[in-house]
Chains A and B, each alone.
Chain A
């Protein structure tokens, strides 16, 4: 079970605590997202893009955008940190939250995964504490793994007896029980109790395997037992378990070598040669094959085939020399630093964090020497860190470029602002807003007077007013004062015209008054809006320099942080690379030392043969 599913389970259960039982039975319930920002974090999380998920979550928390999901968000953050391999921070969150908020089985599983990560990373005390936090709610398969982990922690801490006691309690017929049996057997061998170990390993060595994994375990058990018996001076007993190892398998070479030694121990050199000769055609990189190159001439010498033995020793010396040269070249390449760049070549942005594991070494002559360092925690975890650091480096490089752009952007904005400012200030100075407001108020007052005095003439149009004046002028014409019928007729017409005009003006008075009032109200609203805009402009003019200053402070403050962080990342990468290099070179040095020892032995044996031949020649002469 991957830790990913734990992370999902963790926050699902916190998301819907009431439904937790249902969740356990029917699979995850959908989460009700109450904030798009939280949903956004989930969007990245569900794609295993842990870094963007963490960054969005941290940013949203800082802006108080996750108040609706505060507890879930915190727990999710713990899970994201765990997925990203940021285990110490993750544990700090879990320690704070797990006690009260999560179902015991989920809590136990989380502690288990933390224990596993901490053990892989060498934090033995922390791993032990995490294991101690597990209650009884761990599922059976994980409980067995947790017990094995406990035994491993005992061993790593040098507490062999505690490990043996724990492994001895194991019962049942499960795969875990078989592994426990094997580890117990080997632990007993290590502690010197070969007889007790033999019985356990022998039992395991006769196992009827039902899978490749169990077949492999059976081979290992037989091999370990065979060699422990050989070491204990029981060559005849050693042969049986060694013969049980498959002829074509990862342990066959060592088994064949051991078989030969078992026969050699009882001085049956002719028989010893059979498995050793079989090894001749196999890969020289295998230490068993290398050793067989010395064992064969050793047996031949014992069988008095001196010339053949000498030839084999010479071949061995030559082969070891060539192999040593190849190892030297590989060491030089690894020490040049280029080797570990290959591990970053296929480093897409999302393949960081705890799940990543290197399965196959990059192609190259080095791979054949180093394949078994892949099995070590230190190498795997070191590689994860190295890749994570490389990710951080690229991330910081990208930000550095972005910040440079932001600096330019900010400067351009600032220049544009200060260039426009005088024009704006000038325009603002010309706009007499207060005068406009006064005029509007005057209009209001005037209109009120017109309304109160029912001054319909005041609302006449220019045309109407001209007409009204023309009529008045006509009415005042002296000629019309005469009391003659023509004048009376004109006076009547003028009166009619005036009456019609007055009637129209009075008729339209209210409508006109309403329209003017409406226009005046709209003008007032526009004036208020203009005043508001003016306040905004004034506000912006006051705040903008402060905003520029604040943003500049942030931009310029972040740049040195990026640079300093980049330097630290580069240094840390160098440390991590040196560490990995030391493991790889150490492995190669071990292989080289073994070849050196074999070479010395071969030379020594060859010299002895030559001495023998020379002595025999002198005697015959």
Chain B
């Protein structure tokens, strides 16, 4: 709301400042005050221009750094998880009224690869439609077993722990698997589904 008033500080200062002199010669100072006002406006304009010049530079830099981040991110992925062996595991939540997610534990071929504890903010983002990449792995082509164990609060805020398992085949290209938490309305229970993205 402070920005609704755009004169007050300056004018009060100018008036207050001129008041010292005003007891002696108030009217004689009017011209000086106006000059000061104009000088102050010129200084403001100068400040604004200077800021804009720096800001334009910052904007350019932001753009370039973001592009560089993109290139680095892609390089990192290509280097650490080449497409022919890459498998990405995602977590998503559809509605999520019957389950309040606390953590997820993921095993591939019986070996634990991820154990993730969720913050409130992350759960909120999942509930609003966000999808989290919880783990990336390099796997050989062929069949693999994925086991995911979800823990949290189930219906009536009772502790809840459920698992889901699937055998998936890793082909030549990258593979994306989504572990989805959905609500089974008829049973008023959460459901945990693993699906493959094409």
Contact = CB atoms under 8 A, between A and B. Distances in A.
A51 B129 CA distance: 19
A375 B54 contact: no
B116 interface: no
B113 interface: no
A291 B67 CA distance: 55
A597 B36 CA distance: 15
Nearest to B21: A601
B54 A372 contact: no
Given A58-B67, A389-B61, A565-B64, A42 B125 contact: yes
B69 A399 contact: yes
B4 A224 contact: no
Contact of B19 (A40, A47, A257, A395): A257
Interface in A148-200: 148, 152, 155-156, 158, 176, 179, 182-183, 186-187, 189-190
B18 interface: yes
Given A59-B74, A381-B51, A579-B50, A291 B16 contact: yes
A375 B58 CA distance: 22
A555 interface: yes
A182 B55 contact: no
Nearest to A87: B59
A122 B59 CA distance: 14
Contacts of A46: 124-125, 128-130
B48 to A, nearest CB: 4
Contact of A43 (B16, B20, B76, B125): B125
A40 B6 contact: no
Contacts of A183: 4-7
B62 A388 contact: yes
A399 B58 contact: no
A385 B60 CA distance: 12
Contacts of A75: none
A579 B51 CA distance: 8
B57 A572 contact: yes
B16 A156 contact: no
B4 A176 contact: yes
Interface string B67-90: 111111111111100000000101
A406 B51 CA distance: 38
Contacts of A617: none
B55 to A, nearest CB: 5
B13 to A, nearest CB: 7
Interface in A387-441: 388-389, 392, 395-396, 399, 402-403, 406, 409-410
Nearest to A221: B8
A605 to B, nearest CB: 11
Interface of B: 1-9, 11-13, 15-20, 22-23, 26-27, 29-30, 33, 37, 41, 44-45, 47-52, 54-59, 61-79, 88, 90, 92, 121-122, 124-126, 128-133, 176, 178, 197
A207 to B, nearest CB: 14
15 contacts: A36-B92, A46-B130, A47-B122, A47-B125, A54-B66, A55-B73, A89-B59, A122-B48, A122-B55, A148-B4, A182-B8, A190-B7, A406-B75, A562-B68, A565-B68
A43 B6 contact: no
A601 B125 contact: no
Contacts of B7: 155, 183, 186-187, 190, 224
A-B pairs, 9 with minimum CB distance: A39-B131, A43-B130, A227-B15, A46-B125, A122-B48, A186-B7, A179-B4, A58-B70, A122-B52
A224 B52 contact: no
A594 B17 CA distance: 8
A89 B55 CA distance: 13
B104 to A, nearest CB: 14
Given A43-B131, A47-B125, A287 B4 contact: no
Contacts of B55: 121-122, 381, 385
A88 interface: yes
Contacts of A55: 66, 69-70, 73
Contact of A230 (B19, B129, B130): B19
B83 to A, nearest CB: 10
A459 interface: no
A562 B72 CA distance: 10
Contacts of B13: 287
Contacts of B20: 291, 294-295, 597-598, 601
A258 B44 CA distance: 27
A62 interface: yes
Contacts of A63: 74
Given A39-B131, A186-B11, A257 B62 contact: no
A223 B12 contact: yes
Contacts of B128: 42, 46
Given A381-B51, A569-B65, 10 more contacts: A45-B130, A55-B66, A55-B69, A87-B59, A88-B59, A183-B5, A220-B12, A231-B18, A254-B12, A375-B2
Nearest to A254: B16
